[in-house]
Structure 1
Amino acid sequence: MQDMIWTMAIWWTPVVALALLLVITKKAVVSPVWLVVSIGIYAVYTGAIFFGIDLPGISGMFEDQKYNWSGKILAIVASLIMIAAVIVPSKRLNLADAGLTLKQEQGSVIPSLIVVAGMVAFIVGLQLLVNDGTNLDAETLIYQATIPGMDEELMFRGLLLLTLSLAVSGRAWDLMGATIPWGAVLATLFFALGHSIFVQNAVVQADWVALVITGILGGALMWIRLRTGSILLPIIAHNATNLANQFF
Structure 2
Amino acid sequence: MFVSSQLLNALLQITLILPLLFFGKGRFNKDEYRLLGIFVVMFVLWSVITNGLGGVVVGNGQSWNWVGKVSGLLLGVFFVYRNKLITHNEIGWKLNFNPGSVKPVLFTLILILLARSIFYITFEHQVKTFDLETLIFQGTLAGLCDELLFRGILLALLNRVFTAKENVFGFTLSYGILISSILYGLSQGFLLREGFHLQINLIRILIGFFLGLIAAVLKERSGSLLPAVLFHNIWALIANH
Q: Is 1:102 aligned to residue 95 of structure 2? A: yes
Larger helix proportion of the pair: 2
2:23 alignment partner in structure 1: 21
Cα pair 1:49 1:72 within 8 Å, conserved: yes
Which residue number in structure 2 is paired with residue 124 of structure 1?
117
**2: distance between equivalents of 1:5 and 1:52?**
12
- How far is 1:97 from its partner? 1.0
Which residue in the other structure is 1:151 paired with? 145
Match of 2:164 in 1: 171
Structure 2 counterpart SS, 1:198: strand
Give the C-alpha shift of residue 224 in structure 1.
0.4
Match of 1:5 in 2: 7
Size of the alignment, in residue pairs?
236
Amino-acid identity (%): 20
- How far is 1:207 from its partner? 1.0
Instruction: Report the TM-score, using the length of structure 1 for normalisation.
Output: 0.85
Q: TM-score, normalised by structure 2?
A: 0.87
Report if the CA contact (8 A) 1:29-1:169 is conserved.
no
Q: 2:211 aligns with which of 217, 222, 230?
A: 217
Counterpart in 2 of 1:64?
Answer: 61
Tell me which residue corresponds to 1:112. Answer: 105
Quickly say closer, same or farther: Cα 1:162–1:210, change in 2 above 3 A.
same
Once superposed, which parts of structure 1, at least 4 consecutive aligned residues long, lie more than 6 Å away? Answer: none
Q: Spell out the pairing of 1:29-44 with structure 2 (5 A cutoff).
A: 31-44=32-45
Q: Secondary structure at the match of 1:195?
A: helix
Counterpart CA distance in 2 for 1:191 and 1:121 is 23
Partner of 1:197: 190
1:124 deviation in Å? 2.6
Query: Does residue 70 of structure 2 align to residue 77 of structure 1?
Result: no
Unpaired stretches in structure 1, ≥5 consecutive residues? none
The whole-number CA distance in structure 2 between the counterparts of 1:29 and 1:121 is 44
Alignment root-mean-square deviation, CA: 2.4
